[in-house]
Structure 1
Amino acid sequence: MSWIKEGELSLWERFCANIIKAGPMPKHIAFIMDGNRRYAKKCQVERQEGHSQGFNKLAETLRWCLNLGILEVTVYAFSIENFKRSKSEVDGLMDLARQKFSRLMEEQEKLQKHGVCIRVLGDLHLLPLDLQELIAQAVQATKNYNKCFLNVCFAYTSRHEISNAVREMAWGVEQGLLDPRFHHVGQASLELLTSSDPPASASQSSGITGVSHCA
């Protein structure tokens, strides 16, 4: 399935969208992709099919965000913690990512039409080299679009991001670029991958409230 599902909204969908747009709308919203394995177990299908269906639901969600005028979406797709899962499941997720980023490169006209800038956040060196290259191509191809933004957190945790930011600051002090006598809060925020405006809300796709390894 396409990353951005196009097509006219149904009459009922347009009615609902107009009601929602009548109120205040967030400019940035985040989604934590969770519950795909539970969905697969409930429906008695393979885990890989559960992950694939999760992506299809994401595509529908992105379509709604586009129609509602939400200009920035962050998707927490794959945590560094997920590497602890079985090799077969991790390999399946990497294959799914390859398929979807390859599809993204086939949809450049659609991305240009909507002005979608793709940003992928995380420790990408942890990923297979061919997947790193696909991601780099997608980011490079859309870097000049600025109507709306899709941030994909992949091989990411906030703890890892913060520790990396602290290491960067420590290196700056060591190199004489930062004065250790001052608290460089602003500099720390700039070192973060997620240094743009924070999302107004975060929704976990499983419906479970809790702390995620991604968030």
Structure 2
Amino acid sequence: MFKKLLGKKLNKNEIEYNSKSLLDAEVPSHIAIIMDGNGRWAKKRSMPRIAGHHEGMKTVRKITRYACDLGVEILTLYAFSTENWKRPKAEVEFLMGLPEQFLNSFLPELMERNIRVQMIGDFASLPGHTQRALQHAMNTTKHNTGLILNFAMNYGSRAEIVLAMQNIMQEVAAGRLAIEEVSEEHITSHLMTAHLPEPDLLIRTSGEVRLSNFMLWQLAYTEFLFTDTLWPDFDEQCLLEAVQQYQQRNRRYGGLKGEEQK
């Protein structure tokens, strides 16, 4: 798990200076984040869990801006899993209202920053007001060409893979595809992320070290970073340090690089 690399809290000018230095090395094109710790953040302050979710929404806004400034092309945020329906009804209802609250207030800035909103997950099973908020944001920003802000909403990776396999089996049954033609590329093309490159960097906040049914196929060669920082406390410096750590990695994809090949 990564800690504070720089050893102190940076001021705005120091963050801007270090941000510019990142451009001298490769910035991850696609960053995926499991946003965890909203409830614990609230509990530490003797506040209701929904207060943590509200604060976490502010962090989404802040990190989206900073990722855009860094030149990240895709930011995928695990907003609500298929398992999260098991939470208390009042909490689920609050979470289902956040997209409307967040997107309506943030939409003008998303347009100004040329950010495009997308979503992966079971859209049809979301409440109507949640669907309308997401659809409005996606329709309004669909021609934007900058950062893709991709929400994993009502998303579960196992269900995604099952659906992909069912669709492939239908192709085989219809005679449009032979079994021996099924390949990794073919499976990838049937996933909800078929239009996106796989994540370069996965970040999970709050000290938990697991994937929680998130992009199990897509993360095969992704670099992982786990931090004890709770999501509402995750700020520009945290993202800056995560990217710095990523830039120190040697991504081999199962092979060898540089001197190791000799």
Please give the TM-score of this superposition, normalised by the length of structure 2: 0.73
Deviations 1:142-195 (A, max 9, x none): 122222211110000111111110011112222222223432432221110112
The match for 1:6 is none
CA contact (8 A) 1:104 1:138 kept: no
For structure 1, the residue ranges without an aligned partner over 5 or more in a row are 1-8
Distance 1:99 1:55 in 2: 9
Amino acid at match of 1:193: M
- Residue 186 in structure 1 maps to residue 185 in structure 2: yes
Percent identity over paired residues: 30
CA contact (8 A) 2:100 2:130 kept: yes
CA contact (8 A) 2:99 2:133 kept: no
CA contact (8 A) 2:34 2:203 kept: yes
The match for 1:4 is none
RMSD (Å), alpha carbons = 1.8
Match of 2:25 among 4, 11, 23: 23
Distance 1:58 1:134 in 2: 16
The match for 1:130 is 129
The match for 1:74 is 76
Distance 1:156 1:188 in 2: 18
Q: In structure 2, the residue corresponding to 1:66 is in which secondary structure?
A: helix
Distance 2:61 2:150 in 1: 14
- Residue 209 in structure 1 maps to residue 216 in structure 2: no
- Residue 198 in structure 1 maps to residue 198 in structure 2: yes
Distance 2:180 2:19 in 1: 52
Report the CA distance between 1:102 and its aligned residue: 2.7
The match for 1:159 is 158
For structure 2, the residue ranges without an aligned partner over 5 or more in a row are 1-10, 216-262
Deviations 1:15-73 (A, max 9, x none): 22123333321111111111111111111111111001111112211122111111211
The match for 2:148 is 149
CA contact (8 A) 2:99 2:134 kept: no
Report the CA distance between 1:88 and its aligned residue: 1.1
CA contact (8 A) 1:78 1:214 kept: no
Distance 1:138 1:97 in 2: 9
Q: In structure 2, the residue corresponding to 1:58 is in which secondary structure?
A: helix
Distance 1:103 1:92 in 2: 16
Distance 1:119 1:67 in 2: 19
CA contact (8 A) 2:38 2:52 kept: yes
CA contact (8 A) 1:117 1:145 kept: yes
Distance 1:101 1:114 in 2: 14
Distance 2:47 2:167 in 1: 44
Please give the TM-score of this superposition, normalised by the length of structure 1: 0.87
